[in-house]
Amino acid sequence: MANISRRAFLKRVVVGAGTLTLYANGGFQFTNALAAAPVYKLRILHTNDHHSHIEPVSDSYKHGGVSRRQTYIASVRAAQQAAKGGSDPYDLLLVDAGDYFQGSLYYSQYKGYADLDFYRRMGYQVGTIGNHEFDDGNANLAKFIHGAATGTYPDVPAGAPVLGGTSFPIISANIDVPAGDPLAGLIQPNTVIALSDTGSEQKIGLFGLTTPETTEISSPGAGTTFADPVARATAQVAELQPIVGAKIIALTHLGYGVDVELAKNTSGIALIIGGHSHTPLGGQPNAQGDYPTVVTNAAGKPVLVLTDWEYGRWCGDIVVGFDADGNVSTVTSSPTEMQADNTKEGYIEPDADFETLIGTETTGYKKQIAEVSARAVGKSEIALDGVTANVRSRETNLANLLTDAVLAKVAEDAAKVAYPKVVITNGGGIRASIAAGDINYGNVLSVLPFGNTIARTDITGAQLLAALENGLGYVGGASNTGRFPQVAGLRYSFTTSRPAGSRVLSVEIKTADGYVALDAAATYRVYTNNYMLTGGDGYTAFTEGSNKLDIGFVLADALAEHIAALSADGGAVADADITGGRIARSYLTWIPIVETVQ
């Protein structure tokens, strides 16, 4: 655990029947007044929403990646073994809360095999199932679960190594599949882990839960259903308590807000470790709550709700002390960033063996990724403008092509709601132009190198206006211009002669009958990227919406597919394929009128 200095101390408050101490770096200590002194300690490392981010994520700097995660896990294991037999020993548990699939070329190429290989080698002990695990149907998920549990795989991808590492179960208690389905008999509802590094055997019970939204947002097989999480959680507690007592963990893929409600409406769960909503907590950027969040359950006892943002950017890390009755007694937490930028504090060296497995353009898993990058996508008759200064200050044909590609990709999801749908994405996410001529996937990746995925949120017209004002607040400045809003499904006009926050002159929404003025009270579905969904680039209005979801489609894939569609049958991207006139800038000088009262 990271040491927390006195100067990092932030505040101490009373939560339920306990005292909570928060620290400025996201660290956390909690003492439960209703429990006795701890007699057993369990350290838990956890991740969620990995989304095939095998390599570091690049935003303003690099962090994440399985090589650094492996280094961190190995260092924690070494510390745990060093404490074994000492005065303060603890057991160690490594878990993941689902959505291993979808989000990078590694998934597009290997369909989860590469992720499974690294997870086995990192030594994960339990995982649950996320909605994106169903994106390629039940049969593909069945291979993943079987490979996790046995180390064997029915069809190892060409050029991939044999699975390494150790086996672990994938659990979910609320997924029901029909007889004869590829998943039949493969999904365990729960598991009991026996740990003994503290000198005596301790049994920890874990059960999994998967979001019922999966039927609408992914592709589960016919007859696959998702039962009510609260009902199944109650049944799992009843089954596990005679075996493990009070040390029960719910490993969920429901979303942070749903996890909080699950904690309130059940009893007998000590911790809820979740995923799905990509929610940052504690010291993570744009944090939406404490890490952990302490919730009082239906029996008046504290429940710890945890989640670890996304993409392996950080690693959740918490030590829980249990009293003799198995009640949570003390908590110390220190989630840690997987820092991949060697100019930043806390830099973590990558694991050499993992780096070799990942490989280069001619070796390892990356070899086939490089081959995919060379794949022909289509053609363009025109140069597509991704010049930095342009995409951060005005509309360009490449930005319009990208936002159109998003609308095309989400057509099925968009058809599920009657209210208007628009796209808003940050111009700073566009990093290169594309010359006229042949286009390969590498060209597309140069435009969109971050691996961002398409996300959605339902917001009011007033919130949509606030989002646009945020995006226009720095136009013409020296920094923060990357938030400039590129759009589809709407058009707007603005001026920089007004102060930030009041620069939008008009907003109109595209409908089947033409453009209509934005209605501040109406609801709009906004498609954006996963970075902006969590408040990135100052788009906090998106975090205030409902039905928020990282859909998981890679932006680069969406753009490539759109270019390919326009290039079909000998065609090519042309001016006529890209409707302009979406963004208008007024250069009229705005002079505030000050009335003098005499």
Give the model's confidence band at 536: pLDDT under 50 very low, under 70 low, under 90 confident, else very high: confident
Last-in-domain residue among 354, 387, 422: 354
Same domain, 231 and 336: yes
Least confident of 481-495, 518-532, 581-595: 581-595
Provide, rounded to the nearest whole percent, the portion of the chain with pLDDT above 70. 92
Same domain, 326 and 263: yes
**How much is the pLDDT for 537?**
86
Element spanning 132, H or E: none
**How much is the pLDDT for 173?**
98
Summarised one tens digit per residue, pLDDT across range 37-47 is: 889 999 999 99
In three-state secondary structure terms, 375 is coil
Question: Does 368 map to a domain?
Answer: no
Same domain, 311 and 405: no
Question: Does 247 map to a domain?
Answer: yes
- 458: domain CATH number is 3.90.780.10
Same domain, 199 and 328: yes
Question: Does 43 map to a domain?
Answer: yes
Question: Does 11 map to a domain?
Answer: no
Same domain, 350 and 381: no
Summarised one tens digit per residue, pLDDT across range 194-243 is: 999 999 999 999 999 999 988 877 889 999 999 999 999 999 999 999 99
Question: Does 6 map to a domain?
Answer: no
CA 428 to CA 396: how far, in whole Å?
13
**How much is the pLDDT for 387?**
85
Same domain, 326 and 472: no
Summarised one tens digit per residue, pLDDT across range 414-470 is: 999 999 999 999 998 998 889 999 999 989 988 997 778 999 999 999 999 999 999
Enter the pTM of the model.
Answer: 0.76
Same domain, 410 and 261: no
Q: Check pLDDT > 60 for residue 372.
A: yes
Same domain, 349 and 202: yes
- Cβ neighbours for 130, distance < 8 A, ≥ 6 positions apart: 48, 49, 97, 98, 99, 100, 101, 210, 211, 253, 275, 276
Cα distances (Å, whole numbers) of residue 192 to 44, 90, 151, 222? 15, 18, 20, 30
CA 354 to CA 312: how far, in whole Å?
15
Q: Which domain holds residue 494?
A: 376-586
Same domain, 309 and 430: no
Per the CB < 8 A criterion, the answer to whether 183 and 142 are in contact is: yes
Question: Does 19 map to a domain?
Answer: no
- 75: domain CATH number is 3.60.21.10
**What is the mean pLDDT of the segment spanning 274-295?**
91
Same domain, 325 and 423: no
Which residue would you say has higher pLDDT here, 50 or 6?
50
Same domain, 258 and 383: no
Q: Residue 272: left (phi > 0), alpha (psi -120 to 50), or beta?
A: beta
Question: Does 339 map to a domain?
Answer: yes
Which residue would you say has higher pLDDT here, 20 or 424?
424
**How much is the pLDDT for 591?**
53
CA 322 to CA 404: how far, in whole Å?
53
Question: Does 252 map to a domain?
Answer: yes
Give the model's confidence band at 10: pLDDT under 50 very low, under 70 low, under 90 confident, else very high: very low
**What is the mean pLDDT of the segment spanning 372-385?**
95
Which residue would you say has higher pLDDT here, 60 or 364?
364
Per the CB < 8 A criterion, the answer to whether 138 and 224 are in contact is: yes
**How much is the pLDDT for 533?**
93
**How much is the pLDDT for 385?**
96
**How much is the pLDDT for 16?**
47
**How much is the pLDDT for 9?**
31
When divided into structural domains, the chain yields a total of 2
Same domain, 331 and 386: no
